Structure formats: structure tokens, C-alpha cells
């Protein structure tokens, strides 16, 4: 089979190449999946340089999440049949034509989603769900400000917050991206953060500020978010795509009565396995029921992996870029 292999850690993906490898064989309790679609995520890019917290041993196949069809069953597997359409993920190993995964790690692909949409759903919407439901405990009609709203996780947060009955402000530095978001997901308001957003958020929320702020950006965005969060609000720290990890004087949460809440969706599931399973059940139930709809920005053949990576690195994606090993 063919796979995108990281042989060495290097800038500009210099250690990555598509290679021919032997066909993997499923062991006891495992399933081999013929991959139809694999989503590209920022950790995939970071791992090619050794800059992500998870550092797999070299060489490794990139890719965190995928969808496809069951191709072969290992000993003892009875929950799946050859030909079943499934979704799943791992810390690595989905940018390839065939992957062996634990049978228990798979879920049935919702029939209403394409393979590309299904691959785009898992990690983004899981992060959004843990952020909004588990950590922020949002209530209907609360104002939710979503930074980085055009990214895969940000867009999932906009979509999920709307489905939960929240009032959503989608924030981005691009009017063109905000137009796409408005047309696809109908947030209650959009804000271009270029030049600041505090006053706009205050005006939209009647002077109160946002009850929940979803921040995968950090840096200056975090600093200004402190100035437009409501009393008893929750400022969700999701990441630092700006490159600067901000700091805060603790008198600000004290005086304004808000909480700064860290979000690590995967670690949440590892710390609370039962809740982790419930989170995934909820996400896929929402997807299957038509309550959420992942957006696929573009699809690429395996040989065009670099274009997919560059699209994400250059912040041009609205939703998810997908690699299609079956093309």
C-alpha cells in the first residue's frame, strides 16, 4: 500500500514522502480499514517537525482521523463486517490506503455524511463539545464568541453552539471567510477582529459581553477577550495559533467574576473514560441526526498532500482539508 511517511523531523515537511509499504495485517481485536478520507489537522503539521506534545517514534505514518470501509477482520472481531462504512482515529496512521486499528475504536459512519464529511467531524466536533458542554456548560441563549471561526475546530464550535440554542458571534480576520460562515451556519453575528473587537462584542451583547469565549488563538486575541467577557463568563483556552501564550493578572477574573478554563478534549476523555465515551456518542448522534454538518473545504489525492498541508498552514481553510488515499 501507499502511505505518507515521516522519516525524519525537519522544517517545510522535508522529512515526509509518499512510500510503498507492505499491506498491514489485523491482529486479534483489530480491523483493517480501506481509507476513503483522512482529515488534515494542525497536529499533523507540527508532528512533522517534532513540535507537538505527542512525539511518535520515527518513522511514522501521519494522520489523526479517517473514514473508510472495513476491509479485513482480525481474530475475535464480531462487531464489524467487511464492507461496513466506519469512522475512527488514532494519534497517527491515517494518511495511507489501509490502516489497522482496534475494532473498539471504530464507529459506524453516519449515512447522511459523505466519507469526507465524516473524516472532518471527529476531532473538531469533539473539541467543540468538550469545550461548550463539559467545560463551559453553556445554556441556551447565552452569547458565545468563537475566535478562529473559519478553522476546523472554530467552525465546529459555531455549528455546535447554534445547535445547542446559543447566540453565536463568529470572529475572524477575513470578511470573505465570515461571509462563507454566515451563509453556511447562520451565526447571530459576525465580527472582523482586525483592529479590535471589544466594542463590537459589547454592542452586539447589549453591553454585557460574551458569556462564553472560545479562544484557540491566544496572544492579543486572549488579551482583548478579557475586556469583553461577561460577569460569570467562561473564557476557554483551546490553543495558541497566534504563536504567543498570553498571561493574565488574576485580579481580572476576580474583579470581573469570570473563569479561565483550559480545554484538552483528548485528555478529558483519558482522565474520564466514561465521559469520554459519552462525548463521542453525543457527537456522532448529533451528526447522524442532522444537528451538525462538518464543512469540507477541499479534497486532495495522497500525492497532493503538500498542497493540503500548505492550505492549512497558510490559514486558507474554512472547515477541513481532506486527503483522499482512494483517488
- DSSP, res 38: E
Rounded Cα distance between 152 and 23, Å, is 31
For residue 144, pLDDT beyond 80: yes
For residue 233, pLDDT beyond 80: yes
pLDDT number for residue 1: 95
pLDDT number for residue 214: 98
Q: Which three cell numbers stand for residue 123?
A: 476531532
User: Is 80 exposed, middle or buried (CB count within 10 Å of its CB: 0-12, 13-18, 19+)?
Assistant: middle
- Which residue(s) pair with 16 in the sheet? 6
pLDDT tens-place string over residues 41-97: 989 999 999 998 889 999 999 999 999 999 999 999 999 999 999 999 877 899 999
Give the domain 2-113+294-324 fold. Quinone Oxidoreductase; Chain A, domain 1 (3.90.180)
DSSP H or E segment with residue 127: helix 115-129
Give the mean model confidence (pLDDT) for residues 113-125.
96
- Which residue(s) pair with 73 in the sheet? 31
Residues 6+ positions from 278 with CB-CB distance below 8 Å: none
Question: HSE on the CB side for 6, CA within 13 Å?
Answer: 26
pLDDT number for residue 90: 77
Phi, psi of 121 (to 5 degrees): -90, -50
User: Is 79 exposed, middle or buried (CB count within 10 Å of its CB: 0-12, 13-18, 19+)?
Assistant: exposed
Give the full edge-to-edge strand order of the sheet including 210-215. Answer: 189-192, 167-172, 143-146, 210-215, 229-237, 259-262
Place of cell 515526509: 16
Rounded Cα distance between 137 and 133, Å, is 5
For residue 326, pLDDT beyond 90: no
Give the mean model confidence (pLDDT) for residues 189-206.
97
- Which residue(s) pair with 237 in the sheet? 215, 262
Give the mean model confidence (pLDDT) for residues 215-232.
97
- Which residue(s) pair with 72 in the sheet? 32
Share of the chain above pLDDT 70, in %: 100
pLDDT number for residue 237: 98
- DSSP, res 303: G
pTM for the structure as a whole: 0.94
Average model confidence (pLDDT) for the chain? Answer: 96
CATH 3.90.180.10 domain locations along the chain: 2-113+294-324
For residue 310, pLDDT beyond 90: yes
Give the mean model confidence (pLDDT) for residues 24-44.
96
Residues 6+ positions from 112 with CB-CB distance below 8 Å: 287, 288, 290
> What is the full DSSP assignment across 181-210?
HHHHH--SEEEE-TT--HHHHHHHTTTS-E
Give the mean model confidence (pLDDT) for residues 220-227.
97
CATH 3.40.50.720 domain locations along the chain: 125-267
For residue 167, pLDDT beyond 90: yes
Rounded Cα distance between 237 and 128, Å, is 12
- Collapsed DSSP state (helix, strand, coil) of residue 2: strand
Give the domain 125-267 fold. Rossmann fold (3.40.50)
Rounded Cα distance between 131 and 133, Å, is 6
Write the Ramachandran bin of 251: left for phi over 0, alpha for psi from -120 to 50, otherwise beta. alpha
Amino acid at each position: 500500500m501507499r502511505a505518507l511517511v515521516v522519516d525524519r523531523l525537519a522544517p517545510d515537511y522535508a522529512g515526509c514522502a509518499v512510500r510503498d509499504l507492505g499491506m498491514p495485517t489485523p491482529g486479534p481485536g483489530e480491523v483493517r480499514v480501506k481509507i476513503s478520507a483522512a482529515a488534515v489537522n494542525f497536529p499533523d503539521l507540527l508532528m512533522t517537525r517534532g513540535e507537538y506534545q505527542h512525539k511518535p517514534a520515527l518513522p511514522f505514518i501521519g494522520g489523526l482521523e479517517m473514514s473508510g470501509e472495513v476491509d479485513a477482520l482480525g481474530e475475535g472481531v464480531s462487531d464489524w463486517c467487511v464492507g461496513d462504512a466506519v469512522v475512527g482515529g488514532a494519534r497517527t496512521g491515517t494518511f495511507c490506503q489501509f490502516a489497522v486499528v482496534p475494532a473498539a475504536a471504530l464507529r459506524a459512519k453516519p449515512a447522511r455524511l459523505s466519507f469526507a464529511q465524516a473524516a472532518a467531524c471527529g476531532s473538531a466536533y469533539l473539541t467543540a463539545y468538550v469545550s461548550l458542554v463539559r467545560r463551559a456548560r453553556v445554556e441556551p441563549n447565552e452569547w458565545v464568541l468563537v475566535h478562529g471561526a473559519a478553522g476546523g475546530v472554530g467552525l465546529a464550535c459555531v455549528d455546535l453552539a447554534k445547535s445547542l440554542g446559543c447566540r453565536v458571534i463568529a470572529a475572524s480576520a477575513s470578511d470573505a471567510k465570515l461571509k462563507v460562515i454566515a451563509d453556511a451556519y447562520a451565526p447571530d453575528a459576525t465580527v472582523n477582529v482586525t483592529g479590535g473587537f471589544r466594542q463590537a462584542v459589547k454592542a452586539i451583547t447589549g453591553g454585557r459581553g460574551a458569556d462564553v469565549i472560545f479562544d484557540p488563538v491566544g496572544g492579543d486575541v486572549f488579551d482583548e477577550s478579557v475586556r469583553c467577557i461577561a460577569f460569570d463568563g467562561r473564557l476557554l483556552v483551546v490553543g495558541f495559533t497566534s504563536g504567543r501564550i498570553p498571561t493574565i493578572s488574576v485580579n481580572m477574573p476576580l474583579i470581573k467574576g469570570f473563569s479561565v478554563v483550559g480545554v484538552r478534549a483528548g485528555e478529558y476523555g483519558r482522565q474520564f473514560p466514561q465521559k469520554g465515551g459519552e462525548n463521542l456518542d453525543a457527537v456522532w448522534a448529533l451528526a447522524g441526526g442532522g444537528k451538525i454538518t462538518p464543512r469540507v473545504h477541499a479534497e486532495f489525492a495522497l500525492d497532493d498532500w503538500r498542497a493540503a498541508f500548505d492550505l492549512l498552514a497558510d490559514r486558507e481553510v474554512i472547515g477541513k482539508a481532506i486527503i483522499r488515499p482512494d483517488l
